[in-house]
Amino acid sequence: MARENGQTFIVDIDRLDAKGSGQSVIWHEHEPGQPPKKLKLTIPRTLPGEKVRVTVDRPKRRRRIAVPEEILQAHEERIVPACPHFDLCGGCVFQHWQYAGQLRQKTAHVKQAIERAGFDPSLVRETMGMDDPWHYRNKMEFTFAPDGTLGLHEQGNFRNIIALETCLICREEMTAVAMEVAHWAKTHALSGYDKKSHEGLLRHLMVRQSFATGEMMLALFATEGPEAHEKAVLDLKTRIGEKFPQVKSLLWLENTQWADRTQSEKSHVLSGRDFIYDELAGFRYRLWFDTFFQTNPTQAEKLVELALEMGEPKKSEKMIDLFCGVGTFSLPFAKRVEQLAGIEIVETSIASAKRNAADNGISNTFFLAKDARHGIDEVLETFGTPELLLLDPPRSGAGGKVMRKIGRAQTERIVYVSCNPDTFAEDIKELVPFGYELKKVQPVDLFPHTVHVECVALLSRVEI
């Protein structure tokens, strides 16, 4: 059974790591006469309690990643993954797990995070899932391989691209238009970007679609402008125009940087406008290629509803929306308070928030382009102490300095929207010395079949 330089083991999956892979610890004899050696294994596509057979290359090392060769004892909720790319693609890690089990795992993750931070885990409600946990994404980013193949990154091998056939977490129209672009690139023998040599033309394809309006955006990221590819560009415009009239924004974006990100130094509108319209919770938004907007609109509306329910905004109150972005939470709350101040470090997002407020007839907002820590000081000085503060920080959290600023502001109620239970728990711990008490936490599943989970939480100031 063992292959060269490898050793075969029967192992039990003890738990899952932060990326959703099974974890197992075994003790094995690595040399005759020597004491057993501890080996920590990471085994993707396995579930807690399963017994699997793996062959480990170089088992003398302390940590190894191993592929399950056979599931000897399966979890009772194990199912056959629906997607043909599941074994290789890094997009979804839980398609082999019944959805109810995924939700339980996410609830447990949130409870463990806040318990480690010293809070009562019983404050965490069961994770709010989706009725239909498929085709939920309104934005996808695909990558070109050096040979021009368009697809998604292989799990555990960022440089390898899995050729796209389907994607079950985005809308079928989005997959169809991406495959059309893939065919177009092959037809014109356009090269993809090589991350090693930093050569090649096409880097990424971003596809956005509004579930509310149906409008789509296609953004091609390339290492040079479209001028040298006039014939190919004309063909692309014709293909998209004839087959996908819902594409209202077709962009060619130049990116010469080595960093593997969807960024642009120069934009070219091939057809349509440079933005699309979307709607959320009854409000209309303009989305550009670099606009951050919730990628699951169905569950994002639930986030907004929960935040409103927990925050209980009143017409007589002032409010701060920290990390406000383009106003996803600002606009619904502004309709219910006297005044709202939004703070966001990204200037283009603040410009969008102002425009979105105007588009929706909202005039009681003030948006400030500044980092959270200094923005709070400026707003408190000119705005006064608000009764309500909402924050929706990035995955890294708000950080201790910002949280202590919030604590010193002494607002009555704080609504925290989080995409990372671990940083959320560490952040809210900073508020306890300032007299705040955690009242409730509601996890929401915005990303079915992945490890990610969002939370909406309420903290209230109490006497100390």
| The domains spanning 6-73 and 139-280 adopt the same CATH topology | yes
CATH number of the structural domain 104-131+295-461: 3.40.50.150
The contacts of residue 435 (CB under 8 Å, 6+ apart) are 410, 461, 462, 463, 464
Cα separation of the two ends of the chain: 65
Domain-wise residue ranges, the chain: 6-73, 104-131+295-461, 139-280
Phi, psi dihedrals of residue 402, rounded to the nearest 5°? -65, -45
Q: How far apart are CA 212 and CA 297, in angstroms?
A: 9
**Whole-number pLDDT of residue 59:** 66
**Whole-number pLDDT of residue 36:** 79
Q: Which fold has domain 139-280?
A: OB fold (Dihydrolipoamide Acetyltransferase, E2P) (2.40.50)
**Whole-number pLDDT of residue 64:** 87
Residues that are catalytic: 419
**Whole-number pLDDT of residue 2:** 37
Please list the ranges in the chain whose pLDDT falls under 50.
1-4
| Per-residue pLDDT reduced to its tens digit, 5-36 | 678 999 999 999 999 999 999 887 766 667 77
Pair 65, 156: CB distance under 8 Å: yes
With residues binned 3-state (H G I as helix, E B as strand, rest as coil), the percentages for the chain, rounded to 5, are 25, 30, 40
Pair 310, 227: CB distance under 8 Å: no
- CA distances (Å), 101 to each of 80, 98, 105, 364, 451, in order? 14, 5, 6, 44, 12
The contacts of residue 194 (CB under 8 Å, 6+ apart) are 146, 200
Instruction: Check if CATH label 2.40.50.140 holds for domain 6-73.
Output: yes
Q: How far apart are CA 329 and CA 418, in angstroms?
A: 13
**Whole-number pLDDT of residue 463:** 67
Q: How far apart are CA 436 and CA 456, in angstroms?
A: 16
